[in-house]
C-alpha cells in the first residue's frame, strides 16, 4: 500500500511538471499572439470577432492544462453584459473566460505578475487602483466603452478573495459601469476536487502565484468548478445592483448574511448544465 501510494505521488509530480511546462509554453505563445495582434490590429483587437475567438480558444487551452473541469449551471447571457462574481482565486478569471471571451477589471498589482501581467494587459484587461479616484473614473469610462461596443466586462465586487465559504459585502463603485439595455449578470463560483475532498482553489492573503499554481497542478483528479448564472438584472442604481447581485450569489451558495437587509431577487435555477 505504501509503495503504491509513493508511486502515485511520483506520477502526480511528473504529470504536474509536464503540465507546468505546457502552461508556460502556452503563456509564451499567448504573449506572441497578443503582441502581434495588437501591433497588426490595434489596442482593441480582442474585442473583434476573430480576437474573441482567439481569446476563447487560448483560455480553454489554459483551463485544460490547469486541470479545471468546468460545469455551467443556468444560461450565460447572449448579449454582452457586465459580469460580477464572488472571488476565490485567479482561477476564477480562467474559468469565466473559458466560457465567454470577456475583459476583466483587475487590481493594479496583477500588472506586475511575471508574464501573466503583460499577457493580461495585451489582452484587454483594465487595471484599477481603487485608492486613486482618477483611476476609478478612467476605468469606469473604459468599461462603458467596451460594453457599448458589445464587449463583455467582468469584475469581482468583493475586491478581495475568500475561501468560498464566506462572502464579503459587494462594493458598489464599479457597478457604475453598467449601461442601459445591457444586463448585469451575477455568477456564483464554487470549487471542489474529485478525490480527496480538499479545497485547492482559494488564493488568499500571502499566497504566492507560483506556489499556488503548483498546488493546483498537483491536485488529484483536477479541480472542479461550478459556474452558476443567476437571472440577469437591468437598469438600476449601482448600490441596488451591488445589493441584488450579492443576494443572488448568497442564495446560490447558501451563504447567509446577518448584518444587512437584502433586496429580494429570486436567483435563476440551474435549468441546464454542460461541461467542456
Q: What is the pLDDT along the chain (276 residues), one digit of tens a residue?
A: 444 456 667 888 999 999 999 999 999 999 999 999 999 998 889 888 889 999 999 999 999 999 999 999 999 887 789 999 999 999 999 999 999 999 999 988 888 888 888 999 999 999 998 777 788 899 999 999 999 988 999 999 999 999 988 999 999 999 999 998 899 999 999 998 766 556 789 998 888 889 999 999 998 888 999 999 999 999 879 999 999 999 999 999 987 654 443 333 333 333 333 434
Q: Which of 28, 55, 31, 51 is nearest to 41 (CA)?
A: 51
C-alpha cell at 76: 450565460
As a whole number of angstroms, the distance between CA 36 and CA 63 comes to: 23
pLDDT for res 258? 43
Domains detected in the chain: 2-272 (3.40.1130)
Number of continuous H segments (helices) and E segments (strands) in the chain: 7, 8
C-alpha cell at 91: 482561477
Residue 225: count of CB within 10 angstroms of its CB: 24
Terminal C-alpha separation, the chain: 34
pLDDT for res 194? 62
C-alpha cell at 103: 475583459
As a whole number of angstroms, the distance between CA 36 and CA 31 comes to: 8
- Where do we find the cell 470549487? 191
pLDDT for res 180? 87
Question: Is 262 within 8 Å of 105 (Cβ atoms)?
Answer: no
Amino acid at each position: 500500500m505504501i509503495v503504491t501510494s509513493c508511486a502515485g505521488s511520483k506520477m502526480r509530480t511528473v504529470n504536474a511538471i509536464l503540465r507546468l511546462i505546457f502552461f508556460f509554453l502556452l503563456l509564451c505563445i499567448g504573449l506572441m499572439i497578443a503582441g502581434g495582434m495588437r501591433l497588426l490590429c490595434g489596442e482593441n483587437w480582442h474585442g473583434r470577432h476573430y480576437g474573441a475567438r482567439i481569446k476563447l480558444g487560448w483560455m480553454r487551452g489554459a483551463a485544460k492544462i490547469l486541470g479545471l473541469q468546468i460545469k455551467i449551471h443556468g444560461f450565460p447571457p447572449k448579449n454582452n453584459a457586465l459580469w460580477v462574481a464572488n472571488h476565490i482565486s485567479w482561477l476564477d478569471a480562467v474559468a469565466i473566460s473559458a466560457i465567454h471571451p470577456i475583459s476583466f477589471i483587475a487590481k493594479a498589482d496583477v500588472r506586475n505578475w511575471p508574464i501573466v501581467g503583460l499577457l493580461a494587459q495585451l489582452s484587454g484587461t483594465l487595471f484599477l487602483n481603487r485608492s486613486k479616484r482618477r483611476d476609478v473614473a478612467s476605468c469606469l469610462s473604459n468599461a462603458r466603452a467596451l460594453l457599448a461596443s458589445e464587449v463583455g466586462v467582468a469584475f469581482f465586487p468583493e475586491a478581495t478573495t475568500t475561501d468560498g465559504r464566506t462572502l464579503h459585502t459587494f462594493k458598489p463603485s464599479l457597478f457604475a459601469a453598467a449601461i442601459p439595455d445591457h444586463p448585469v449578470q451575477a455568477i456564483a463560483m464554487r470549487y471542489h476536487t474529485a478525490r480527496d475532498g480538499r479545497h485547492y482553489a482559494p488564493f488568499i492573503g500571502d499566497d504566492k502565484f507560483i506556489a499556488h499554481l503548483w498546488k493546483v497542478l498537483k491536485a488529484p483528479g483536477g479541480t472542479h468548478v461550478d459556474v452558476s448564472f443567476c437571472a440577469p438584472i437591468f437598469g438600476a442604481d449601482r448600490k441596488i445592483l451591488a445589493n441584488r447581485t450579492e443576494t443572488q450569489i448568497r442564495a446560490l451558495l447558501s451563504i447567509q448574511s446577518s448584518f444587512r437587509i437584502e433586496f429580494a431577487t429570486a436567483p435563476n435555477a440551474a435549468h441546464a448544465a454542460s461541461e467542456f
